[in-house]
């Protein structure tokens, strides 16, 4: 609960769930079971700081649903971490996995720290100790619960987790699958780092390809030329901005902690990132205008707004002032239920977090499958495909008497690498999920928004799975 919303984050998720449940025909008992958090593990453990003092850490791991195993969800390092937040994020993971047909139950973890205030040595001992606490209670493992990066964590922390797990479970052949988002050298998959941002791009692009939806919003079809604002230049925000820019959109605004910048001609996220690294601030980026209050960026006149930082940033306070036609929720829970009501009233299309930012978990699924199969994607078929393509091409050239350019030859012959297959699997997943949700939305005029349609999709899939398990006769 905060002054911006009368509901806690978990209550907001439940509220959205209830709103959607009305459009399903499932028994109330099934709906209650789907909503409930199955296991909540709250832990306290000490770590020794570099100056010799002892500090007690507050940490959580929540397994929201066991309807499919393992559970899956990121680990967050943030000052704001609390039980309610972790429960809400775990619940969103259940719904997210269901929507994108990834066979996991939802989970989430968090440690209440600001990682910027700890040395890398301290962060390593916190992460390793957290992992051993999870092992002790059987809350981690390739078939039990598989964490991943989230706000404030990345490849480095995932490498510490897999190393700690492996040393505590010697001989476990599938140990690398205990966590995803690892560096490639530690069993990670190529394409994971950019996956969430790329998934956001694919999801928004699919919506922008729908003529009827674009007509209603008063926008032209396609992503090209769209004016985009991104809040948060971390992993998700950076890559979302990158893929929009590379595909012809203009990123006219970028917001970070310390402020925001605006340039109608478009910003290059990598240049801004380097500028911030050099100067310690996003502000004063050459050619751009400073907005000293970072939330002002959310209110810029634009076609697509991408909140990619934290939850509750668009709320009853500022929702009326949002000028974007489309909001793509890259972060988890950036818009409150009160803001949703305003969007419905104003005709703003909000593409919901629970499926739009599913790129991370989708590629995590591919990483987990790679770990269990112990073979890199593309290893078995790449050469075969290239040899086959070369033969087909030479036959066509012989029969037609014409030959293709060297550039075309390379393109046609290319056999898929790991990253090609991962991107292709992600694209397919996001397109399918977008179409399924839109179908549900269009099939019932009383469904008020895309978030509700996404929840209906998730509820139907999880409930079907319970029913098929025979848990509910
Ligand atoms: P990150 O830590 O890499 O980046 C977050 C960025 O947001 C940081 O640069 C931070 O300084 C900035 N920020 C924080 N508060 C801000 C504010 N008030 N205004 C502007 N900028 C602010 O985290 P991330 O992995 O990019 O995650 C961002 C969001 O996306 C979170 O909500 C997370 O749960 C969600 N998400 C992440 C993934 C993933 O794969 N990393 C997957 C799904 C969802």
Query: Per residue in 66-107, pLDDT tens?
Result: 999 999 999 999 999 999 999 999 999 999 999 999 999 999
Nearest-angstrom CA–CA distance, 79 and 81: 6
pLDDT at residue 473 is higher than 50 = no
Q: Hunting for tokens 């769209």 — which residue is that?
A: 226
The reply to whether ligand 1 has any atom less than 6 angstroms from the CB of 261 is no
Return the number of other C-beta atoms located less than 10 Å from residue 37's C-beta: 20
* pLDDT given at position 472: 56
Q: What number does the ligand 1 atom closest to the CA of 149 have?
A: 41
Asked whether 152 lines ligand 1 (CB < 6 A), one says: yes
113-131 pLDDT tens trace: 999 999 999 999 999 999 9
Tokens (6 digits) for 425: 């699997």
Calculate how far, in angstroms, residue 23's C-alpha sits from the geometric centre of ligand 1: 32
Tens-place pLDDT, residues 191-234: 998 999 999 999 999 999 999 999 999 999 999 999 999 999 99
433 vs 120: CA distance, rounded Å: 39
The predicted-structure confidence for 313-354, as pLDDT tens digits, reads as follows: 999 999 999 999 999 999 988 999 899 999 999 999 999 998
Q: How far is residue 236's CA from residue 358's CA, in Å, rounded to a whole number?
A: 11
Q: Which of 372, 375, 337, 408 has the alpha carbon at shortest distance from 6?
A: 337
CB atoms within 10 A of CB 218: 9
- Compute CA distances 219 → 132, 212, 342, whole Å: 52, 10, 20
Q: Could you give the 3-state DSSP secondary structure of residue 105?
A: strand
Q: Please, are residues 247 and 223 in contact by the beta-carbon 8 Å criterion?
A: yes
Pocket test for ligand 1, best of 148, 150, 313 (most atoms within 8 A of CB): 150
Helix 28-35 with 9-21: angle, nearest 10 deg: 150
Ordered domains of the chain (ranges, CATH): 39-186 (3.40.50.10860), 195-356 (3.40.50.720)
Q: How would you class 281 by CB atoms within 10 Å of its CB: exposed for 0-12, middle for 13-18, buried for 19 or more?
A: middle
Dihedral (CA of 79, 73, 32, 330) sign: positive
- Average pLDDT of the chain to the nearest whole number: 95
Left, alpha or beta for 130 (phi > 0: left; psi -120 to 50: alpha)?
Answer: alpha
């Amino acid at each position: 609960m905060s002054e911006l919303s009368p509901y806690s984050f978990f209550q907001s998720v439940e509220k959205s769930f209830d709103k959607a449940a009305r459009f399903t025909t499932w028994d109330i008992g099934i709906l209650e079971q789907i909503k409930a958090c199955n296991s909540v593990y709250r832990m306290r453990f000490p770590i020794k700081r570099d100056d010799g003092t002892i500090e007690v850490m507050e940490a959580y791991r929540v397994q929201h649903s066991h309807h499919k195993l393992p559970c899956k969800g990121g680990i967050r390092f943030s000052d704001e971490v609390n039980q309610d937040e972790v429960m809400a994020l775990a619940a969103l993971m259940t719904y997210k996995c269901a929507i994108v047909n990834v066979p996991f139950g939802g989970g989430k973890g968090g440690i209440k720290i600001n990682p910027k205030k700890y040395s890398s040595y301290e962060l390593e001992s916190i992460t390793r100790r957290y992992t051993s606490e999870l092992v002790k209670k059987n809350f981690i493992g390739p078939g039990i619960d598989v964490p991943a990066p989230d706000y404030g964590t990345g490849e480095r922390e995932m490498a510490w987790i897999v190393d700690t797990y492996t040393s505590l479970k010697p001989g476990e052949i599938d140990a690398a699958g205990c966590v995803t988002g690892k560096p490639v050298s530690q069993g990670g998959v190529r394409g994971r780092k950019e996956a969430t941002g790329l998934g956001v791009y694919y999801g928004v692009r699919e919506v922008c390809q729908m003529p009827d939806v674009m007509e209603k919003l008063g926008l032209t079809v396609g992503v090209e030329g769209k004016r985009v604002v991104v809040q948060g230049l971390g992993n998700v925000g950076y890559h979302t901005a990158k893929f929009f820019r590379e595909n012809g959109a203009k990123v006219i605004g970028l917001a970070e902690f310390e402020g925001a910048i605006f340039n109608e001609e478009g910003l290059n996220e990598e240049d801004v990132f380097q500028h911030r690294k050099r100067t310690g601030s996003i502000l004063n980026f050459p050619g751009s205008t400073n907005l000293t209050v970072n939330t002002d960026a959310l209110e810029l006149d634009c076609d697509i707004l991408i909140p990619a930082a934290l939850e509750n940033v668009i709320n009853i306070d500022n929702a009326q002032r949002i000028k974007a036609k489309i909001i793509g929720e890259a972060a988890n829970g950036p818009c409150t239920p009160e803001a949703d009501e305003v969007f419905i009233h104003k005709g703003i299309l909000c593409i919901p977090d629970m499926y739009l930012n599913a790129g991370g978990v989708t590629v995590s699924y591919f990483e987990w499958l790679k770990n269990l199969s112990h073979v890199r994607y593309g290893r078995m078929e790449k050469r075969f495909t290239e040899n086959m393509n070369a033969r087909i091409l030479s036959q066509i050239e012989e029969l037609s008497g014409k030959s293709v350019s060297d550039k075309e030859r390379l393109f046609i012959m290319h056999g898929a690498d790991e990253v090609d297959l991962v991107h292709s699997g992600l694209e397919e997943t996001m397109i399918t999920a977008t179409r399924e949700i839109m179908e549900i939305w269009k099939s019932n005029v009383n469904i008020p928004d895309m978030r509700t349609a996404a929840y209906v999709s998730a509820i139907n899939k999880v409930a079907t799975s319970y029913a098929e398990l025979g848990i509910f006769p």
